[in-house]
Amino acid sequence: MKVLVIGGTGTVGSQVVQELLKQNAETYVLTRTEANAKKLPGGVKAVIGDLLIPNDVKKIFNNIDSVFLLNPVGNTEASEGLFAVNGARMAGVKRIVYMSVHKLDDWIHLPHFGSKLPIELAIKDSGIPYTVLRPNNFYQNDYWFKDALLQYGVYPQPLGDVGVSRVDVADIAETAAITLTQDGHEGKTYNLVGPDALTGAQVAAIWSETLGTTITYAGNDLDSWEQQFLQFLPDWMVFDFKLMYECFQRDGFLATQEDIDIQTKLLGHAPRKFSDFTKATAKIWKAAQ
């Protein structure tokens, strides 16, 4: 089976690649340049192309059986996804696993949520057997906050006080590999979540325990968050994420017990805990010092 991973060099996609290699799938990764292709892990084959170039799209999916489709957050996300679906359809791809987002239907006004809706609809209309994965907020997003945690003792992600059922990327990748290579998941949508609904203060407390020092939650002031993160992120992304955090703070980003039960059955183990992620991450950070 030939599996193409789109988004295969990012946080999620790179782990999907590793899971596919464990299953001895013939694994390909889409990349825009030869230079990036040389950085791929051993055993992975590169497909050179750009999803926004029609002539590339006509070739990218040739002789591919299954596709993992992950489009990065950006102003062209919907276009890249729709071009990919059409390329896969024209090439006769036999299966698509698409990474969307949890609670898409509830918060469709959020730009990086709403951008995924036309892609989901196009996949369902394409005639290609599909599975949709809808993950919650990633544990691994906390990699971005390494300096804030270690140098300033602050956890800056404004998750709020209701709770977010954050998920480990390892669980997403494992689910992706299963649904790409095994039958029985066609037409299904899986919410991918963690076992606990964590508030911002609880996340800071877990980091405090893991790191053996006091980590303070920066709080829920989104105007202050906006001003701070405009120094690091493009304005369109800050605008988008601020709207998302408003939803987190108002409603939470919560899993149901049914979500957890379905995921546990699919993976054969319970969702990974945030505390296990922080312990593993702290060891990596310490080893890098």
Count of Cβ atoms closer than 10 Å to residue 12 Cβ: 23
Give 99's pLDDT tier (boundaries 50, 70, 90).
very high
d(CA 272, CA 111): 29
Give 191's pLDDT tier (boundaries 50, 70, 90).
very high
d(CA 210, CA 283): 10
d(CA 49, CA 60): 7
d(CA 26, CA 179): 15
Q: Is residue 141's pLDDT more than 80?
A: yes
Q: Please, what are the domains in the chain? A: 2-136+167-192+255-271 (3.40.50.720)
* Mean pLDDT (the chain, rounded): 97
| DSSP letter, residue 161 | S
Count of Cβ atoms closer than 10 Å to residue 253 Cβ: 26
Find the mean pLDDT for residues 263-274.
98
Find the mean pLDDT for residues 110-136.
98
pLDDT tens-place string over residues 35-70: 889 889 999 999 999 999 999 999 999 999 999 999
Q: Is residue 176's pLDDT more than 80?
A: yes
Find the mean pLDDT for residues 3-32.
96
Q: Is residue 194's pLDDT more than 90?
A: yes
Q: Is residue 87's pLDDT more than 90?
A: yes
Q: Give the SS3 label for residue 190.
A: strand
Q: Give the SS3 label for residue 216.
A: strand
pTM over 0.85? The answer is yes
* Model pLDDT, residue 244: 98
* Model pLDDT, residue 288: 86
Euclidean distance between the first and final Cα of the chain, in Å? Answer: 41
